[in-house]
Amino acid sequence: MNFTIEIEQEDDGRFLAEVIGFPGVLAYGNTREEVVAKVQALALRVLEETNRQGAESAEKEECGYFSSVKWSV
């Protein structure tokens, strides 16, 4: 799976990062590195929860488990 992270710098100097295609998956940080780490961690938690919920209602082969994640910043 490939995900794109969009980063903006706010007027107050903080950075805002969002994972494109994941509504609500965004984070603030004081540096680019910090905000990327935060938004990646949040996106992975969302993926994990989505997969966990899918596993409760379908066989593992049918619920779209991911084996690797690639990030574009």
pLDDT one digit per residue (tens) for the chain, 73 residues: 789 999 999 999 999 999 998 888 999 999 999 999 999 999 999 988 888 877 665 544 444 545 566 787 7
CATH numbers and ranges of domains, the chain: 2-72 (3.30.160.250)
User: Is residue 51 a contact partner of residue 66, using CB atoms and an 8 Å limit?
Assistant: yes
Q: Report H helices in the chain.
A: 32-57
Model pTM? 0.74
What is the C-alpha R_g of the chain? 14
Q: How far apart are CA 44 and CA 30, in angstroms?
A: 21
